[in-house]
Structure 1
Amino acid sequence: MAALREIRDRIDSVRNTMKITNAMYMISSTKLNTARKKLKSTEPYFYTLQSMFERILRHLPTGFAHPYLDRRTEIPEEERSRAFLCITADKGLAGAYNANVLKLAESRMGNGKRDHLYVVGEVGRQYFLHRNVDLDGEFHYTAQKPTLSRARHISMEMLALFREKKVDEVYVVYTRMKNQAEFVPELIQLLPLVQLDSDLMNAGKLPVNTIQETFSLEPTPTKLLDNIVPEFVNGYIYSALVESYCAEHFARMQAMDAANRNGNQLIRDLTIEYNRSRQARITQEITEVAAGARARREQMERAGKMRKDLEP
């Protein structure tokens, strides 16, 4: 009987756990829909801003220099100081979501003592603290509720680090939604703006068939970039926060769905085991009853025979 009780208790335990995983699945589904709407509403602004920024760079004067475009090529690679903004979740139970982005950040940071680490999300903070990695900054209450104001706070700090030459490069490590059903960890260099400051953006090196519109940069190109670059970096960080938020809940939905499927399979297997054990116990009891009845019948037959033998 103890074995049957243990199986029944385990089935109840799996069912109680599945109540939690089902609830987490529904919560993540709701949050994912909200995050996707937020991402969809911000993407037009960000892509328009990026397109406008590319157009501005194409019309900058020849030989123009700006602090945010300074590649600092005079500094050797081994002496360059880098800042990494690693975006993780505040909670686990999201499959490989956190592990993938943390692994990418670790692989790029290496053992450089000049690297500076800034973390969004409690999982990333605990991960690096347990490995005795010093954190230069952490942004609380951001991973679960990305907003433009929090993204602006982060971007201002990253811009200040680069502008004051405390770091030579700024990277953001986040999880990008590749499509509606797939996400990938990604590392993007924010500063200097090398992803936009390419050779093709110089007017003298544009393709022959490119239409070069008339552009007037007022009051000056420097003041224009002083205003537009912070907005661009802020938009990129906000987009990374929202995409990471989408990927987190998509990964959690996948993990909870897999847990529910495994739980149902485990309940089926335990139910079969329970029924077999119960049937074996019933069969054993029937066999014992039948054997007892047969023994009793044989005993009564022997007693009756003895009485007959004793009669005169």
Structure 2
Amino acid sequence: MEQLTRIEARLDSLGELSELTGALRSVAAARLREAQAALTGTRDYCAIVDRAIAEISPLAGAGRTERKAPAVLLAIGSEHGFVGGFNRRVVERALGERRPDERLVLVGRRAQIAAAERGIATGDDFPMTSREEGVTPLARRMARRLETAASARLVYAHASGGAGYEIALRQVLPLPKVAEDAAVRAQPPLHHLPPDELLDGLASEYLFAETAHALMESLAAENAARLQTMDAASRNIDKRLETLRRQARAARQEQTTADMLDVVTGAEAVNHG
């Protein structure tokens, strides 16, 4: 009886854990869809800013001031857990790509923990948003941090179909060179600001656009990883539940057999008494 009680208690606990896992899976799936839907907009905005820079760059002065601030390598992880090896992979890629002159900046508390476990100290880090609507304000703050950097690169995850993801590296500073064969309009673009001032404004917007797109990609990949982790956890819980149910049935049968033996033994004792 005591064994059956323990098994039933474990069944109750695993049942509650299964419900929690299902809820986390549903949230991850919903946020993955939100981020994927927003990616088209961030990708299109990057293309618009790239085109504007390509059109105004030939009009800007050649003697622009070089940036003197340190180079930055910015790695985007997750704020919350249940994502398997997501943050470990991001941090390992960042450490593998990091140049001696680059200052490492991490986005996401879990990525910061993963770096600390490897003895890597960072500073001026950012928390990672967990919702699509948090990407824009976070990207603005990050872009302002990058504006003074001599060079800047982003390490982030992007979903690669299904629940998979890959770790990407993208250079965002210095501004990309305008290709000689770029399809620039025959007529100069209409503008009301001096070309150098306009290009400076576009450079800031370029940093925002690229950072926002990387954040959205990472948010989608994070939830893809969480979905994958919850699927694996659900399968494991289901297997353990089935094992415990078999054990419970066997324990009940043993208890029934023991009760019947007690009855038979008692009856025999009465008959022989």
- 1:277 is aligned to 251
3-state SS of paired residue (2:160): strand
- The partner residue of 1:107 within 78, 83, 96 is 96
> Once the 2 structures are TM-superposed, how far is the Cα of residue 143 of structure 1 from its aligned partner?
5.1
3-state SS of paired residue (2:87): helix
- What TM-score results when the alignment is normalised by the length of structure 2? 0.84
Question: Aligned equivalents of 2:184 and 2:98: distance in 1?
Answer: 41
Decide whether the 8 Å contact of 2:77 with 2:128 is kept in 1: no
- 1:154 is aligned to 142
- 1:268 is aligned to 242
Question: Aligned equivalents of 1:133 and 1:182: distance in 2?
Answer: 27
Decide whether the 8 Å contact of 2:28 with 2:226 is kept in 1: yes
- 2:167 is aligned to 185
User: Unaligned 5+ residue runs, structure 1?
Assistant: 73-80, 163-168, 301-312
Q: Any residues of structure 2 matched to 1:138-287 within 5 Å, and which?
A: 138-140=125-127, 142=129, 144=131, 146-162=134-150, 169-179=151-161, 181-193=163-175, 196-197=176-177, 201-202=179-180, 206=181, 213-216=185-188, 221-287=195-261
Decide whether the 8 Å contact of 2:154 with 2:169 is kept in 1: yes
Decide whether the 8 Å contact of 1:49 with 1:232 is kept in 2: yes
> Once the 2 structures are TM-superposed, how far is the Cα of residue 106 of structure 1 from its aligned partner?
2.1
- 1:308 is aligned to none
> Once the 2 structures are TM-superposed, how far is the Cα of residue 274 of structure 1 from its aligned partner?
0.8
Decide whether the 8 Å contact of 2:94 with 2:155 is kept in 1: yes
- 1:13 is aligned to 13
Question: Aligned equivalents of 1:212 and 1:108: distance in 2?
Answer: 34
Q: After TM superposition, which residue ranges in structure 1, 4 or more long, deviate above 6 angstroms?
A: none
Number of residue pairs the alignment of both structures matches: 270
Question: Could you say if the C-alpha distance between residues 82 and 212 of structure 1 is closer, same or farther in structure 2, counting changes exceeding 3 Å?
Answer: closer
- The partner residue of 2:120 within 120, 126, 133 is 133
1:86 and 2:51 correspond? no
Q: Alpha-carbon deviations, 1:37-67, whole Å to 9, x = none?
A: 332333222223224434555x579x94645
Question: Aligned equivalents of 1:141 and 1:128: distance in 2?
Answer: 15
Question: Aligned equivalents of 1:244 and 1:188: distance in 2?
Answer: 13
Decide whether the 8 Å contact of 2:163 with 2:225 is kept in 1: no
CA RMSD of aligned residues (A): 3.0
- What TM-score results when the alignment is normalised by the length of structure 1? 0.74
User: Unaligned 5+ residue runs, structure 2?
Assistant: none
**Rg larger for:** 1
Question: Could you say if the C-alpha distance between residues 272 and 295 of structure 1 is closer, same or farther in structure 2, counting changes exceeding 3 Å?
Answer: same
> Once the 2 structures are TM-superposed, how far is the Cα of residue 9 of structure 1 from its aligned partner?
0.7
